[in-house]
Amino acid sequence: MMAERLCLPHQKARRANLGTVTMNREYHAWESSRLGRPMELLVFGHAGLPVLAFPTSGGRFFDFEDGGMVGAVANRIEAGALQLFCLDSADRESWYNHQIPPRQRIVRHNQYEAYILNEVVPFIRQENPDPRLVVVGCSFGGYHAVNLALRHPDIFGGFVSLSGVFDLQDFLDGYYDEDCYFHLPTHYLPRLDDPWYLDRFRAGAYVLVTGWDDPCLGQNQQLDRILSGKRIPHQFYIWDGENTHDWPTWQRMMQQYL
């Protein structure tokens, strides 16, 4: 299926100047049939490994650019080694929307995933012929990256999670059903024994990065233990330093691990 794309009048493409590096930068937007509203994204680069990038909690499609993450890997983007597809989020309509019942929050999250799978992924395939596809995210975006890659290992060959947050039960006010279970990696992964998934996990490339002062350290250590217990190959790094849960550190992590 082709993405329902490029229908808003303010779409545009231009060259982005990042110091001495100039790269292709494209703005795209279309009316999402899954979410029932316009969705926007930015594309950086012209070729190479396609990377789907999630913003932080409730973030916007321009956060990776504004937070210096695009600039951190600008040389590789310009060289045609990476192409970033920076998503908008729907977190404030789902996990963070305490104005609606928890069941409606998880339903909205399912709609957001359907938007990614049925609209964004076909768009990426249209723009970039490379068969690989990985996901990256910081903080709450790290959750999205991990959950999406683990739920759909036939589509996403790996994730890079920077200071990911994985314990989301507090976002559901005590509510819990099958959909909640299957969107919480620390819940479904320990019990997952299906060889279809495990074989694909063991062919994937998974990176967890956090810091010793990161408020999400314990959650990353827990996911590392679960991945290790399932014998799923992955890399896990804990950084020294201060303020590791912030853009300057994530920029350096991005340079090193993506």
> Structure pTM?
0.91
Q: With a cut of 60, say whether residue 1 has pLDDT above it.
A: no
| Residues 22-40: tens digit of each pLDDT | 899 999 999 999 999 999 9
Close Cβ partners of 199 (under 8 Å, ≥ 6 residues apart) = none
Give the number of other CB atoms < 10 A from CB of residue 238: 15
Question: Percent of the chain, pLDDT > 70?
Answer: 92
What would the mean pLDDT of 128-149 be, rounded to a whole number? 97
User: What is the pLDDT at residue 20?
Assistant: 53
The residues pairing with 83 across neighbouring beta strands, listed in sequence order, are: 50
What would the mean pLDDT of 221-237 be, rounded to a whole number? 98
Q: With a cut of 90, say whether residue 19 has pLDDT above it.
A: no
Reported as type and span, the H/E element at residue 237 is: strand 235-239
Residue 88's SS3 state is coil
What would the mean pLDDT of 130-143 be, rounded to a whole number? 97
How far apart CA 44 and CA 41 sit, in angstroms, is 10
Spatial strand order in the sheet of 21-32:
12-18, 21-32, 37-44, 82-87, 49-54, 134-138, 158-162, 205-211, 235-239
User: What is the pLDDT at residue 10?
Assistant: 38
Q: Name the pLDDT band for 77 (thresholds 50, 70, 90).
A: very high
Give all domains of the chain, ordered by start, each with its CATH number.
12-257 (3.40.50.1820)
Give the number of other CB atoms < 10 A from CB of residue 168: 20
